[in-house]
Structure 1
Amino acid sequence: MPTENKSCAAGVTLRANRVYVAGPMTGIADFNYPAFNAVADQLRAQGYEVENPADHGVVEGAQWADYMAYDLTRLGLCGMIALLPDWEHSKGARLEVLIAERLGMKILKAHELLNR
């Protein structure tokens, strides 16, 4: 069950109920968007706020680093990260998990979070 947001000094908000979805995209048909979107929809149905990297779609001229720079700003708004299958084979997802670890975020496999 999602928890409430808590405000701290200087306007910082801890987003305990905001989830970032991470997983492989590069080299997968449709950039794995169907898997990202399915998990995001299920999490939203359970009351979570979701940051889904698939939401921005394909941006003409954008490179991997452009997507990562943007997505990392979204990750920083979350209290937990939900991992799609095979995330460990993605250099982007591995970077996101490293940052989530350093920020003290909850790190869960997506199916575990959905089955809570």
Structure 2
Amino acid sequence: MKLYIAGPMTGSPELNFPAFHAVAARLRALGFEIVNPAEVDVGPNLTWLACMRADIKLLVDCDGIALLPGWEQSPGATVEHTIARGLGLRVIQARHIVGVGGDMPVISQEAVVELLDEAEAA
């Protein structure tokens, strides 16, 4: 299963690359194929739009998106989230992923409880 990592970068120390790299390493160790935008080289002209163009091209070829904490406050990550949902990709909080089973991510018990709580509140 191929997952794209989305989260805040702009305005974060070191563009939040350490968090992206740590999650990428953890998910790769679990057996996922990972697309990490912190590893995408868009050349010397690193404008926000240039980065988003490169990243979105990679996102659409993934099976799902793994969201880092704070993604909701990131303009880029919210665009990526919207695209992933619109395409019917799996959308998962990165912290909830504990394994892969076939072509499905395995989520933690904490994630199941959180999802049930959200469903009851709705």
Normalised to the residue count of structure 2, the TM-score between the two structures is: 0.78
Which residue of 95, 101, 106 maps to 1:111?
A: 95
The residue number in structure 1 matching 2:120 is none
Supply the RMSD in Å over aligned alpha carbons: 1.3
Aligned partner (choices 37, 44, 57) of residue 21 of structure 2: 37
Aligned to 2:58: 74
How far residue 58 of structure 1 moved from its aligned partner, in angstroms, is: 7.3
Which sections of structure 1, spanning at least 5 residues, go unmatched?
Answer: 1-16
Q: Is this contact kept in 1: 2:6–2:80, CA < 8 A?
A: yes
Are 1:85 and 2:69 matched, yes or no? yes
Structure 1 69/58 Cα, relative in aligned 2: closer, same or farther at 3 Å? closer
CA deviation string 1:43-92 (max 9, x = no partner): 00011000000002574222100000000011011111000000000000
Judge conservation of contact 1:42–1:114 (CA < 8 Å) in 2.
no
Native 8 Å contact 1:21 1:50 kept in 2: yes
Any runs of at least 4 consecutive aligned residues in structure 1 with deviations exceeding 6 A, and if so which? Answer: none
The answer to whether the aligner puts 1:21 opposite 2:5 as a matched pair is: yes
Aligned residues: 100
Greater per-residue helix proportion: 2
- Give unmatched runs, 5+ long, in structure 2: 100-106, 108-122
**Cα distance in 2 for residues equivalent to 1:33 and 1:114:** 21
Identity percentage of aligned residues: 44
Residue identity in the other structure for 2:80: E
Match of 1:114, SS?
A: strand
Match of 2:110 in 1: none
